[in-house]
Amino acid sequence: MALTQTAFVVRSLRRKFPSLEIETVTLQTAGDKITNVPLAQIGSKGVFIKEIEDALLQGKIDLAVHSLKDLTTDLPQGLALGAALKREDPRDCLVSKRYKSLVSLPEGARVGTSALRRGAQILALRPNLRVQNLRGNLDTRLRKLKEGNYDAIVIAHAGVKRLYGASRDPELNFSVVPYSQILPAVGQGILAIEIRKSDPEAETLVRSLNDPGSYRAALAERAFLRQCEGGCQVPIGVRTRIVGKRIEMEGVIASLEGKNVVRRSAGGSILSPEDVGVRLAEKILSCGGREILETIRS
């Protein structure tokens, strides 16, 4: 997936700057290497990006391409979010050989996911399902499903679209999960380009790829997560819409077993996206979200 995303950015830059020389550098992160335990057990902060950010700070690379949901809310000193590309569908996707929705799964069905956020919201909707850990790249996850290790798996729809497009395995059902059932991760569906603050040339290049709406949504959602003091392995979800000159957000914090769920909305000016994110976080935290997070952290 990382190579597919990077190749997309490279093609986009070459269309804008045909004479630009670009070299792709492949790096492995801790998250890539450790695939046999849940992410929550190995520590989520920067697990998919630390080695890449180190290379960026050391000048070994000039641009870093990430899934925005993998970026920590507070970037290392000297680095900045240079651009957010136009957002792909941020919803999650249920994949199964037999079933087409979470509500159609039989009692006791095994559902694989790598995210506490998904697991908590799945159990809130269907407490009689068995949520099980699922790691590995997208091909590996689909293979494990086909081998019968799970009755269904839940993954990011954006990843499916970017990697497979319309060429999906005909033996499997791919069904988008509605927002009413699962809210996405912060930044899900957005490709982010990280740069050094001291590199104006790189900033000029990547800004040509920036999508203003996606960038504002990124700022709002990252402010929401920062205010909640959460990370990618905390059961926090969010949906952001830009309607005219307003940003409308809906967020959720859920307990791990899905028994306690706080879901609220907030909106505000498109010119102050971070204020909207902070206001949403404060509303959810004050309505019980803070107690849920404290219980999880303890």
pLDDT at res. 135? 87
241 φ/ψ sector (left φ>0, alpha ψ -120 to 50, else beta):
beta
Number of domains composing the chain: 3
Q: How confident is the model at residue 232 (pLDDT cuts 50, 70, 90)?
A: low
Q: Is 139 within the bounds of a domain?
A: yes
Joined tokens for residue 167: 């060429």
Q: How confident is the model at residue 229 (pLDDT cuts 50, 70, 90)?
A: confident
Catalytic one of 70, 92, 151, 199: 70
CATH number at residue 248: 3.30.160.40
Q: Is 183 within the bounds of a domain?
A: no
147 and 258 belong to one structural domain: no
165 φ/ψ sector (left φ>0, alpha ψ -120 to 50, else beta):
left
Q: Is 203 within the bounds of a domain?
A: yes
Closest CA to 121 of 265, 260, 270, 297: 260
203 and 63 belong to one structural domain: yes
Across residues 67-88, what is the average pLDDT?
94
78 and 98 belong to one structural domain: no
Percent residues over pLDDT 70 in the chain: 92
158 and 294 belong to one structural domain: no
| Segments in 20-137 forming alpha helices (H) | 30-33, 39-42, 50-57, 116-125
pLDDT at res. 36? 53
pLDDT at res. 31? 55
Q: How confident is the model at residue 167 (pLDDT cuts 50, 70, 90)?
A: confident
Across residues 237-266, what is the average pLDDT?
97
22 and 155 belong to one structural domain: no
Q: Is 29 within the bounds of a domain?
A: yes
Residue identified by tokens 């790691």 is 135
27 and 170 belong to one structural domain: no
pLDDT at 2 over 90: no
Q: Is 184 within the bounds of a domain?
A: no
Mean of pLDDT over the chain: 92
70 and 195 belong to one structural domain: yes
Higher pLDDT, 185 or 166: 185
Catalytic, 70? Answer yes
Across residues 232-239, what is the average pLDDT?
87
Percent residues over pLDDT 90 in the chain: 84
196 and 167 belong to one structural domain: no
Which tens digits make up the pLDDT trace of 177-222?
A: 999 999 999 999 999 999 999 999 999 999 999 999 999 999 999 9
Across residues 256-277, what is the average pLDDT?
97
Answer whether 76's CB lies under 8 Å from 148's CB: no
Which tens digits make up the pLDDT trace of 111-145?
A: 999 899 999 999 999 999 999 999 899 999 999 99
- Burial (CB < 10 A; 0-12, 13-18, 19+), residue 22, is middle
Lowest mean pLDDT of 64-73, 115-124, 149-158, name the range.
Answer: 64-73
Round to whole Å and give the CA distance between 261 and 52: 35
CATH number at residue 68: 3.40.190.10
Which residue range is the domain that position 27 belongs to?
A: 1-87+189-210
68 and 194 belong to one structural domain: yes
pLDDT at 19 over 60: yes
Across residues 277-296, what is the average pLDDT?
96
pLDDT at res. 28? 77
81 and 161 belong to one structural domain: no
Contacts of 79 (CB under 8 A, 6+ apart): 53, 56, 57, 194, 195, 196, 197
Which of 176, 200, 226 is the last residue before a domain boundary?
176
105 and 171 belong to one structural domain: yes
pLDDT at 231 over 90: no
pLDDT at res. 165? 87
Q: Is 182 within the bounds of a domain?
A: no
**Which 3 state secondary structure label does DSSP give 69?**
helix
144 and 269 belong to one structural domain: no
pLDDT at res. 42? 46
Joined tokens for residue 151: 């009755």
Q: Is 118 within the bounds of a domain?
A: yes
